[in-house]
A and B are shown apart, each in its own frame.
Chain A
């Protein structure tokens, strides 16, 4: 590799960071929209509207550190939306990473003075899939003493009106469909997951095993645009991602990949032609 190419390779990541930073601070640009068609977001809104008044929602919180940044703004809007609807939320994690992220989110809710009687931490259950199976038999209410804890201790998962699953690479909506939904009577499952899980979750959405799914940045943005959080705006992400930095990152990726792809394809064609001529 020549000195010039080596220098360019070293500068490229820094230049990318500067470019993304600049795109982040630029205000809204006309012609760009992250929300897209919003079909998935409408499905979510319909599912939430179908819940009874003041529903008990079990939140399976198992995102991973790598992909949580993608779904975090949507998750925070969703929690604010659910609380604004009068929902009572019981959080549980079955992965260590999910638990770490949940502790941070519960801490944030406490600092933002979310109503503590409507939030219950069921803690961490080790065992991944085995833990999910045990959730279907008994919820780990522990020493909780509030009315929500008492209801869940008495009724178990039967007292839950819906389960919202925040998925990650280890445990996601698919595990809930397989291990929990099959052991409960008509518990509606709603899910938020990173894009990487979309292809494996799409069949569950189409079969109705998942009532609603947000699994792309576009679906998340459409949901955030339409959510009604009332006076709970303080619970939202301070600076959710705009379309411009995402567009810049995607264009850089397309250019870098296309340059290598076209170069390799061209040289392959040249080699074939040279072989034919000889």
Chain B
């Protein structure tokens, strides 16, 4: 059974934000500000709930001896370390030196290393996609090879020619594909938003 409450709420909030976008009016701006602040609070609450849920899930995994106990311990230990560093008595929160050290010496290098490993795993994935992916994979990897060659950091006449070709390559064919995707996504988003505002199509609040 359809419940119109959520749809009505979305319609009202959407129309107020849209009106604020188009009309310069202080009262309307303040009302839109209240909605935006509420959205920020909801987002903050959702983030907190997600982190709490992760901690509870990992603690349950440990208690019931499910999954990998080392990774669960690391997740819980990392959370505890950051909470103690930022919330202990006399701590200054996110700007505390201990929090800064945890971020600078641990979190950022570990994160960068994991993403650095993507160089190797992406190459492996590209090779496997060629072996099993057929014609599309051949085109995809072929374009990647051409792009890499054009971006080689060479000096002199050859380097200048490559730089010109790379600029054209990125701006025209690759740019055109990206723009097509972005325009498609924008149209789809507008259509979905309009359907929600008008209450057309399958209900989302059941």
Contact = CB atoms under 8 A, between A and B. Distances in A.
A257 B120 contact: no
Interface string B32-50: 0100110110011001000
Interface in A21-76: 30-34, 36-37, 65-69
Contacts of B151: 216, 218, 250
Contacts of B21: 182-183
Interface string B101-130: 001100110011011101110010011001
Given A66-B111, A107-B100, A261 B145 contact: yes
A87 to B, nearest CB: 22
Contact of B148 (A31, A68, A254): A254
A133 interface: yes
B43 A257 contact: no
A33 B155 contact: yes
Contact of B108 (A101, A124, A130, A218): A101
Interface stretch (B2-10, B69-77, B173-181, B195-203): B173-181
Greatest chain B CB density within 10 A among A32, A36, A138 is at A36
Interface string A238-278: 00000100110111011011101100110010000000000
B174 A199 contact: yes
A100 interface: yes
A19 interface: no
Q: How large is the interface on A (under 10, 10 to 19, 20 to 34, 35 or more residues)?
A: 35 or more
B95 A121 contact: yes
A184 interface: no
Interface in B138-168: 138, 141-142, 144-145, 148-149, 151-156, 159-160, 163-164, 167
B29 interface: yes
B29 A137 contact: yes
A36 B155 CA distance: 8
A261 B123 contact: no
Given A37-B163, A202-B170, A256-B123, A261 B154 contact: no
Q: Which 3 A/B pairs are nearest by Cβ-Cβ distance?
A: A65-B111, A66-B115, A127-B40
Interface of B: 21, 29, 33, 36-37, 39-40, 43-44, 47, 94-95, 97, 99-100, 103-104, 107-108, 111-112, 114-116, 118-120, 123, 126-127, 130-131, 138, 141-142, 144-145, 148-149, 151-156, 159-160, 163-164, 167, 170-171, 174-175, 177-179, 182
